[in-house]
Structures are given as structure tokens and as C-alpha cells.
Amino acid sequence: MLHKLTLAELQHKFTAGEVTASDITRAYFLRINQVEPRVRAFVTQCKQATMDQAEALDRKLKGWRKTLPMMAMPLAVKDNICTQNVKTTCASRMLEHFTPPYNATVITKLQEQGYLLVGKTNLDEFAMGSSTENSAFGPTRNPWNAHMVPGGSSGGSAAAVAADECVAALGSDTGGSIRQPASFCGVVGLKPTYGRVSRYGLVAFASSLDQIGPITKNVTDAALLLGAIAGHDPRDSTSADVPVPDYTNAFKKRDIKKLKLGVPEEYFASGLDPDVGRAVRAAIEELRNLGATVKEITLPTTDAAVATYYVIATAEASSNLARYDGVKYGLRTKETTDLLNMYMKTREEGFGAEVKRRIMLGTYVLSAGYYDAYYGKAQSVRTLIRRDFDAAFQDVDFIVTPVTPTPAFKLGEKVQDPLQMYLSDIFTISVNLAGLPAIAVPCGFSQAGLPIGMQLIGRAFEESTILHAAYAYEQATQWCTKRAIIR
């Protein structure tokens, strides 16, 4: 049952010569055929091309087993990350037939190691959403309960990992879009520090917030995949020229006796689901038992995070999505009378309701007379949020919070109430505004049997610290070993 293995376990078997790349590929596409009609995690599958690549890789190796970490590893990629000669749709009619002529930097890095692309995963259109219900190609379903959402916007990637349709996946995180679906689907999701992983080739939603990161079955796999994609990229002006450590060194010690853990009171206020509160509090006690010093802290501007985020993110979305005008690439409406009509009809037909909503909000806050009142003020509050974290990290090494206020909710439950949908990200948004790393780790289940996640937040470029703490917790508990039973 190769599809049940973690990335590290599958890598070990391949390196030892116990399985071939072709064996791995056949096993995973068999699994996809079995469960994909129920889960619907993929927009595009790459079966034939991947089988051909696996066979070529086996011929090239000819028994030589000194392999690279991602060699022959079957990965899924969120469909807003450019893949040369493979469609990148952003789950939008606007880009339904778009095939990029180049690879994102993260894809180039993985190709250099010989990874296998099993397919492109579903998402909320242009990564705008928290449930993967905004996709132009239909919703993805939660492998734990097909009546529930998988989270978003990287819901397809999280569902694919949880359903064992790939050994790991890439997602993108603008306001929690890796961590929230990872929590809903009972897997691990890591949002790296802003600038740690190149954004070149990631279709932009909000450029100062977007970050590519791994979604995996456990913490070890997250460290392996992050190490494969991290690093400075001269093609990305926001990429940080900071050395990339061997993240697996964080696992050499299981104890966390020298670490101080901060618990912000603002994240445990009214509105938090009782099951989530109990699970995360129990996880904090487990970290205390493992040796961490627990300290109550405060992040005073947390209440302003959602409003701040939805001003900045929509403003940047309005600017980034202006390029889709029916001229350069993507959809172009055929029934037009003049140039202006062509622009308007193309955008009307190509964008879904949520994308239009965010473009209009962003255009409004950037308009004359409102820029200073909304966008300028939001940027000022963003600075205050970052200062809150800076002050907290003077006293603690990492911060622990819930990932989401509730477990996964029902399909259709919040579609007609955008504000309630936006509040799903209330505990993750601040991390993106501050540009910090954070990881979501399974820490329990609700009474309804749905996964619950814990979020560990670290200092900028200190992913190793949160990986160390997350690994220690994972080894002391059994939550990461639980797998969805797909009916």
C-alpha cells in the first residue's frame, strides 16, 4: 500500500531500491481512480506524462540509488502555480485554457530533483476563499466527511494529501490558505516566512501576502519539502537572500525544555468552538509536559486583523487582476461591439462572484478620496500588528493558537454570507500581515469526528523552531497517524 506511506518512508523505499518510480506512479494513480470521484481534489491529472517520466527515470537510474530527496516522489501542485506545458487555471473561467510557457521557480527546483507531478489541485478561484467552493469547476470535498468543506483556498491540495492521492502537495497561503485547509483535513500545513520561498510563477492574488508552502502527512515531510523549495531567487524581487538550513536537523532532539511558548488571550475569546478550545488547550498542556515554559501573552491589535487584511488584500487583488482584460492572454469574449465592451464582457464572464466582489472592494479602497482613509490606515495598522509580534517574541520563542474558530463546516453553509466566510481566517491572517512562519498540526477531533488543528507561529526565518516544537508534539501524540476513511 504505497499510497499510505509518508514522504520520508516512500523516499527511503525508493532509495533502497525496494520500489521503482513506475511502481510508485501506478500505485498513486490507482488510488486517484478509486477516490477522486468522491473527493474531487484535482482540476487536471497528468497520468500519461507522469508514467512516461517515471519509466524514463527508472531507465536512467539502472540500479544506482544515490537519489535526491524529491526524486520519484508523487506531488500535487495547487493550480495557481505555473507548470510549463500543463494547464494552470486558477480554477477560473478566465484561465480555463491557459498553459504557461514556463515553470514557477518552485517547480524548477522540484524538477531538478526528479519529482513526479500527479496533477494540479482545485482551489477557490484565484485563491480567493476559505472553502474551495468558489472554484469554477465545482467544490472539493473533505475526505473525512464528504458533506463538509476541505477549507481553502488550498482545499484541493489538502484534500489530496488527506485522501492519499499524493504523498505531499504545494499550496499557497495569503491569509491562512495552507494552514486552514490543513487543519480541516487533518494534515500538516506550513506557511514559510515571507520571502523564504520564491513567488516567481505563482499567479498573484495579494503580492505582499502570498507565500508558497508544503502540505504534508507529518512534520518531517513538511521539513523535507520546504528544504527542497526554499531559497533566494533573483527573479523574485521579494525573495530573501537568507541561508536555508537543513530543516531536518530540528528533529535531532525531541525535548523542548529550553523553549518558551506564548499563549495569546485574544485567540481564546468568545466565538471559539468548545471542541477546538479543548483540543488546543490540551495540546498546550502536552507541550508543557514536554518541557516548554508556557506564558500568557497579549496581541492587542488582533481584533483589527480581519478588517486590515481585507482592505490590503482586496486592494492588491484589484491591481493584480487588472491584467485579465481579454487582450494579453486568457479568456476573450467573442460577442463585442467595441474595445470597452470587450473589456467589460470578458471580465464579467471570466470572473466568479467572489473575485468580482474583491475587485470592487479593492478598487473602492484605492480610489481618490478613500485611499488615505482605508488603504493608508490599513497599512499603519499592519505595522502595529507586526510590532505586537515583535514585542511578544522578546519573551517567547514561539506562539500557539487555534488554526480556525471551528472545525470544517458544511458545504454551502457560508456561501451566502461572505463575512462569516471571511471570519474563518481570523486566527491565521495576522501571520501573513506580519510576514511570519507558521505551521498547522493536527491536535484532536471534534465530537462529530472532524479534525482540529493547532497553529505554531515563529520569528521570521526561524522555521526550524516551530518545526522542532511541532515534531516534539507529534511524536508524543498519535493525531498525525489518523487517516480519513473515504466512503
Tens digit of pLDDT for each residue in 417-431? Answer: 888 888 889 999 999
Tens digit of pLDDT for each residue in 274-283? Answer: 999 999 999 9
Distance CA 128, CA 282 (A): 32
For residues 199 and 235, the answer to whether their CB atoms sit within 8 Å is no
Tell me if the pTM is above 0.85. yes
Tens digit of pLDDT for each residue in 12-51? Answer: 999 999 999 999 999 999 999 999 999 999 999 999 999 9
Nearest-10 crossing angle of helices 463-476, 274-289: 100
Compute the average pLDDT of residues 285-313: 96
Compute the average pLDDT of residues 323-340: 87
Per-residue pLDDT band for 329 (boundaries 50, 70, 90) equals confident
Residue 461 in this model has a pLDDT that exceeds 70: yes
Q: Return the pLDDT at 416.
A: 86
Q: Return the pLDDT at 63.
A: 65
For residue 283, the one-letter residue type is A
Q: Smallest Cα–Cα separation from 83: which of 38, 119, 135?
A: 119
Distance CA 445, CA 56 (A): 43
Computed over every residue of the chain, the mean pLDDT equals 95
Which candidate in 130, 153, 239, 424 is catalytic? 153
Extract the C-alpha cell encoding 251: 528533529
Tens digit of pLDDT for each residue in 116-160? Answer: 999 999 999 999 999 999 999 999 999 999 999 999 999 999 999
Tens digit of pLDDT for each residue in 46-69? Answer: 999 999 999 999 998 876 667 789
Q: Return the pLDDT at 78.
A: 98
For residue 48, the one-letter residue type is Q
Tens digit of pLDDT for each residue in 102-112? Answer: 999 999 999 99
Helix (H, G, I), strand (E, B) or coil at 190: strand
Rounded percentage of the chain residues whose pLDDT exceeds 70: 99
Residue 253 in this model has a pLDDT that exceeds 80: no
Active site annotation includes 380: no
For residues 105 and 235, the answer to whether their CB atoms sit within 8 Å is yes
Q: Return the pLDDT at 407.
A: 97
Active site annotation includes 153: yes
Residue 338 in this model has a pLDDT that exceeds 90: no
Distance CA 24, CA 40 (A): 21
DSSP E strands in 88-225: the ranges are 116-121, 168-172, 188-191, 212-216
Extract the C-alpha cell encoding 114: 526528479
Active site annotation includes 78: yes
Which candidate in 154, 172, 177, 424 is catalytic? 177
Phi and psi dihedrals of 439, rounded to 5? -130, 140
Q: Return the pLDDT at 333.
A: 87
Distance CA 394, CA 388 (A): 10
DSSP string, 63-99: T-----TTTT-EEEEETTB-BTTB---TTSGGGTT--
For residues 396 and 260, the answer to whether their CB atoms sit within 8 Å is yes
Tens digit of pLDDT for each residue in 153-167? Answer: 999 999 999 999 999
Distance CA 212, CA 200 (A): 10
Pairing state between β 398-402 and 260-264: parallel
> Which residues have a Cβ under 8 Å from the Cβ of 58 and sit 6 or more positions away?
20, 21, 22
Q: DSSP character for 233?
A: -
Edge-to-edge strand ranges of the sheet holding 168-172: 42-45, 116-121, 74-78, 168-172, 212-216, 188-191, 438-445, 451-458, 398-402, 260-264, 293-297
Domains of the chain, start order = 2-261+394-481 (3.90.1300.10)
DSSP string, 6-64: -HHHHHHHHHTTSS-HHHHHHHHHHHHHHHHHHH--EEEE-HHHHHHHHHHHHHHHTT-
Compute the average pLDDT of residues 324-349: 88
Instruction: Kindly state the helix (H) or strand (E) to which residue 224 belongs, with its residue range.
Output: helix 219-229
